[in-house]
């Protein structure tokens, strides 16, 4: 059943009381039926396609619209809340890239430094050589390094029903890199493009080597605290999801199995994602982050230009280019928006904003096997 919410419900208001005034959404601004009907319809369509529930917010200037559909708990039938916290998966990459670009602006490293300069001997073997790969190539996925999440053993433990036995396993970044290095490179550095979570595992390791602090601490110190992102956290091995939140669900199958059993995968050890995808946030915080980033509040102009310098991405729907931890989306009406997607067990999310940072959208599906998230972006930015 599709559940429309004209205003944030009681659960959301109780949760919002724990946040700062910046996180509150006025009843008038949260009216789902006025300004964003196509976005609401796209959320409803995702639920009709099988997603348990959708929650999101759109921000235009000082106006905030909140949209929800479906349920946050299949057992109780409780609806989703627009202020739900959720695992943001690969949106973590934008935070990591921002920290590295800040370090570059401060003169602490150069993006054209080789990986081996900072992590000597770490990327070596089976044709992999960190002496030939630059930090920039990690950030724009042109390194050629195999993605550890595509390793058959890792896939089986993480994305089939074996996940239920391994959901609390702890991985170190070096262990994740070593899984990738079992495989030969996909291509020579700079000779192609392939999305690889290993790239950002290495990027997190470089942050620690350059700054002397773990990437989690640098993200908090440089981004989360200055922007007042009170719903945003960078868990290390903590398996719980902070309140307010909904449950997260997966079919735990490598092949499409829409009619298979649905598993509650809310609790998991995020070290398996690490600096490639471990973070938790909510839609309001994501809108504030991407708006600040594209609005030039986190990076000098030179570094923001570098971040937005893309390599082409083919066959990815609205996504036409990948920069440094940043995707360029081009909806059909000619709009251009910047942001990132993020998938992790039980959670599929998107956050985008216009180039000036003034019109932002962030939302989450609490199921990872159905629904068209790009259709929600299309609906928001091409409303007619």
Q: Work out the pLDDT band at 208, boundaries 50, 70, 90.
A: very high
Q: Output the pTM of the full model.
A: 0.92
**What are the tens digits of pLDDT across the range 237-273?**
999 999 999 999 999 999 888 889 999 999 999 999 9
For the beta carbon of residue 190, count every other beta carbon within 10 angstroms. Answer: 16
Question: What is the mean pLDDT of the segment spanning 157-166?
Answer: 98
Query: In the chain, what's the furthest Cα-to-Cα distance?
Result: 59
State the average pLDDT over residues 222-226: 98
- Flag whether pLDDT at 13 surpasses 90: no
Q: Which of 23, 69, 81, 90 is catalytic?
A: 90
Average pLDDT over residues 150-160: 98
* CB-CB contact of 50 with 8 (8 Å): no
Query: Which alpha helices (H) appear in 194-300, and where do they start and end?
Result: 197-211, 215-219, 225-227, 283-294
* pLDDT tens digits, one per residue of 267-321: 999 999 999 999 999 999 999 999 999 999 999 999 999 999 999 999 999 999 9
Nearest by Cα to 271 from 346, 342, 176: 176
pLDDT at position 32 over 90: no
Binned at pLDDT 50, 70 and 90, residue 9 comes out as very low
* Dihedral angle sign, alpha carbons of residues 142, 174, 350, 251: positive
Closest CA to 201 of 221, 182, 178, 183: 178
Phi and psi at 207, nearest 5°, equal -55, -45
State yes or no: pLDDT of 28 exceeds 60. no
Query: Residue 17: what pLDDT?
Result: 28
Query: What is the distance between the terminal CA atoms of the chain, rounded to a whole angstrom?
Result: 26
Smallest Cα–Cα separation from 70: which of 93, 94, 49?
49
Residue 49: CB atoms within 10 Å = 15
Q: What is the pLDDT of residue 52?
A: 98
The DSSP output letter for 23 is: G
Question: Contact, 202 vs 122, CB < 8 A?
Answer: yes
CA dihedral sign, ordered 229, 230, 236, 239: negative
3-state helix, strand, coil in the chain (%, to 5): 35, 20, 45
Which of 198 and 259 is assigned the larger pLDDT?
198
90 is catalytic: yes
């Amino acid at each position: 059943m599709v559940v429309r919410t004209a205003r944030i419900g009681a659960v959301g208001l109780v949760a919002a009381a724990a946040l700062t005034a910046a996180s509150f959404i006025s009843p008038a601004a949260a009216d789902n039926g006025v300004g964003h009907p196509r976005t609401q319809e796209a959320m409803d369509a995702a639920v009709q396609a099988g997603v348990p529930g959708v929650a999101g917010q759109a921000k235009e200037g000082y106006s905030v619209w909140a949209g929800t559909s479906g349920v946050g708990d299949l057992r109780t039938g409780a609806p989703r809340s627009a202020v739900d916290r959720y695992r943001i998966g690969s949106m973590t990459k934008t935070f990591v890239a921002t920290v590295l670009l800040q370090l570059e602006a401060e003169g602490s490293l150069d993006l054209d430094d080789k990986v081996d300069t900072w992590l000597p001997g770490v990327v070596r073997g089976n044709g992999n050589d960190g002496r030939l790969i630059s930090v920039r190539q990690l950030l724009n996925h042109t390194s050629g390094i195999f993605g550890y999440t595509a390793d058959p053993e890792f896939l089986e433990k993480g994305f089939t029903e074996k996940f239920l036995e391994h959901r609390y396993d702890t991985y170190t970044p070096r262990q994740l890199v070593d899984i990738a290095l079992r495989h030969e490179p996909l291509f020579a550095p700079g000779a192609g493009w392939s999305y690889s979570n290993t790239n950002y595992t290495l990027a997190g390791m470089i942050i620690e080597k350059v700054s002397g602090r773990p990437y989690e601490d640098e993200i908090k110190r440089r981004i989360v605290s200055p922007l007042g992102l009170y719903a945003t956290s960078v868990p290390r091995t903590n398996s719980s999801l902070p309140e307010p939140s909904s449950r997260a669900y997966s079919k735990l199958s490598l092949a499409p199995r829409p009619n298979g059993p649905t598993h509650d995968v809310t609790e998991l050890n995020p070290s398996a994602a690490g600096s490639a995808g471990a973070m938790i946030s909510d839609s309001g915080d994501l809108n504030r982050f991407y708006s600040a980033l594209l609005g030039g509040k986190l990076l000098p102009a030179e570094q923001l230009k570098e971040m937005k310098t893309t390599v082409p991405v083919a066959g990815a729907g609205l996504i036409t280019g990948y920069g440094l931890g940043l995707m360029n989306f081009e909806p059909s009406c000619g709009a251009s928006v910047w942001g990132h997607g993020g998938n992790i067990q039980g959670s599929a999310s998107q956050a985008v904003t216009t180039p000036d940072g003034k019109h932002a959208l962030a939302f989450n599906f609490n199921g990872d096997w159905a629904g068209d998230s790009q259709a929600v972006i299309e609906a928001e930015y091409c409303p007619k």
